[in-house]
Amino acid sequence: MIVANRKSLSEILDMVKDCNKILVAGCKGCVTVCNVGGLKEVQVLASCLKIARKKDGGKPLEVEEILLERQCDPEYIEQVKDTVGNYDAVVSMACGVGPQFLSEAYPNQKFYPAVNTTFFGGAVAHGIWEERCAGCGTCIIHYFDGLCPIARCSKSLMNGPCGGSSHGKCEIAEDLDCIWDMIVKKKMAQGRLDDLRYLTPAKDWRTARDGGPRRSIREELTK
Amino acid sequence: MSEDFEPKILAFCCKYCAYAAADLAGSMRLSYPPNVKVIQIPCTGRIDIVHILKAIEDGADGVYVAGCMEGDCHFVSGNLRARKRVEYVKKTLTELGIEPERVEIYNLSSAMGPRFAEIAHEMTDRIRKLGPTPVKTRTV
């Protein structure tokens, strides 16, 4: 899933400082699963914003809440077409895709992102998410027994480990596993260490962000 | 702060401990401040961040959650979850420039009637010192 973190309340409050009535729009997709922009988080943010504005008798803020099925599909974005104009601004709690889809659909309205979109990952424990995929566009994890050196090595090394690997940890943080240490240990456990004699050539990054914004077209699905 | 400020305090009390302790305090004829309004909950684990925030939003001067002793939760770990949620609300209130001491969590058992009354006094005194909530509402 796409993992995100909510922006600080002061940042969000600054975005809506001139507003009297806003809509906080959550998303039932990835941000619900990573507990950042689902129903509960929409309620919490709405309440926080109202508290902040009621504090010391400030200008009251009317906050309405909505939870869209997804904010990355036009058919769900359409669900607010009759009401989106009723607000001074819309605060989207979806990943970075949400406020952009909303902005494109409703060019006259202001949309603010309430979250910082961080990475593609999963929950390793309750409340803890870790990065697993960098969306490089050319998956190579089968060469490394299901462990991705692009997303999980700090240097995205194709031939590791580097000298910064110590006792299974990466030099950038004591609690960060060195993925190359894990790859080597897994190869040893599976008796396939010889695989690593193969020198992986430089990666073609054109399929990643380096090739510019990407587009995926599936002819069989297009109208 | 005005001399006649009477705090409005909400107490979310677990039915297996704090609420029973409140009953016991009553049976023991212990008095505690009428500022505390008790709401029975099935377990403190039922309390969500938004419940506490809503109380603050609607003008409560203080809110506390009272659950079982740690390790004795009827639902194993509800009180531990509640503690984390109360801590989250405290951080949120700090971010909003509101005293985090307005929100608290206590642990007690159903046999601790006097402790229930003591907590009610403690929280009322604390909020009295802090003064009225800076969150202004027309009606509470």
Q: Which residues of A touch B134 (CB under 8 A)?
A: 55-56
Are A194 and A109 in the same domain? no
**Number of residues that make up chain B:** 140
Beta bridge pairs of residue A169? A166, A177
Are A88 and A180 in the same domain? no
Domain end residue (candidates: A119, A142, A174): A119
b/e sequence A183-207, b meaning 16+ C-beta within 10 Å = bbeebeeeeeeeebeeeeeebeeee
Are A145 and A101 in the same domain? no
Are A145 and A89 in the same domain? no
CA nearest to A58 within chain B = B136
Whether the CB of A118 is below 8 Å from some CB of chain B: the reply is no
Looking at every residue in chain B, the average pLDDT score rounds to: 95
Between the alpha carbon of residue A223 and those of residues A52, A101, A138, A217, A218, the distances in Å are 48, 20, 27, 11, 10
Q: Among A42, A48, A62, pick the best mutation site for testing chain B contact (most B Cβ within 10 A).
A: A48
Tell me phi and psi for residue A201, to 5 degrees: -70, 165
In a domain, A6, yes or no: yes
Whether the CB of B94 is below 8 Å from some CB of chain A: the reply is no
Tokens (6 digits) for B30: 């212990």
Are A27 and A93 in the same domain? yes
pLDDT band per the 50, 70, 90 thresholds, residue A57: confident
Strands (E), chain A: 2-6, 21-27, 62-68, 89-92, 111-113, 115-125, 128-133, 165-166, 169-170
Give the ipTM: 0.92
Are A72 and A113 in the same domain? yes
Predicted local distance difference test score (pLDDT) of residue A60: 87
pLDDT band per the 50, 70, 90 thresholds, residue A58: confident
In a domain, A128, yes or no: no
Region A41-60: mean pLDDT is: 91
Domain end residue (candidates: A79, A94, A119): A119
Categorise residue A137: left if φ over 0, alpha if ψ from -120 to 50, beta otherwise: left
In a domain, A222, yes or no: no
In a domain, A219, yes or no: no
Over the stretch B105-135, which tens digit does the pLDDT of each residue have?
999 999 999 999 999 999 999 999 999 999 9
Tally of structural domains, chain A: 2
Q: Are A113 and A92 in contact (CB under 8 A)?
A: yes
The answer to which of A2-16, A56-70, B25-39, B104-118 has the lowest mean pLDDT is: A56-70
In a domain, A86, yes or no: yes
Grouping H, G, I as helix, E, B as strand and the rest as coil, residue A148 is coil
Would you call B53 and A44 a contact, using CB atoms and an 8 Å cutoff? yes
Predicted local distance difference test score (pLDDT) of residue B140: 45
Q: Which residues of B touch A44 (CB under 8 A)?
A: 49-50, 53, 92
Domain that holds residue A51: 2-119
In a domain, A221, yes or no: no
Q: Residue A18 is part of a domain; what is its CATH number?
A: 3.40.50.2300
Grouping H, G, I as helix, E, B as strand and the rest as coil, residue A80 is helix
Looking at every residue in chain A, the average pLDDT score rounds to: 96
Over the stretch A163-183, which tens digit does the pLDDT of each residue have?
999 999 999 999 999 999 999
Region B4-31: mean pLDDT is: 96
In a domain, A218, yes or no: no
Are A100 and A139 in the same domain? no
Are A112 and A145 in the same domain? no
Are A192 and A157 in the same domain? yes
Are A47 and A82 in the same domain? yes
Are A29 and A115 in the same domain? yes
Q: Are B49 and A44 in contact (CB under 8 A)?
A: yes
Are A58 and A107 in the same domain? yes
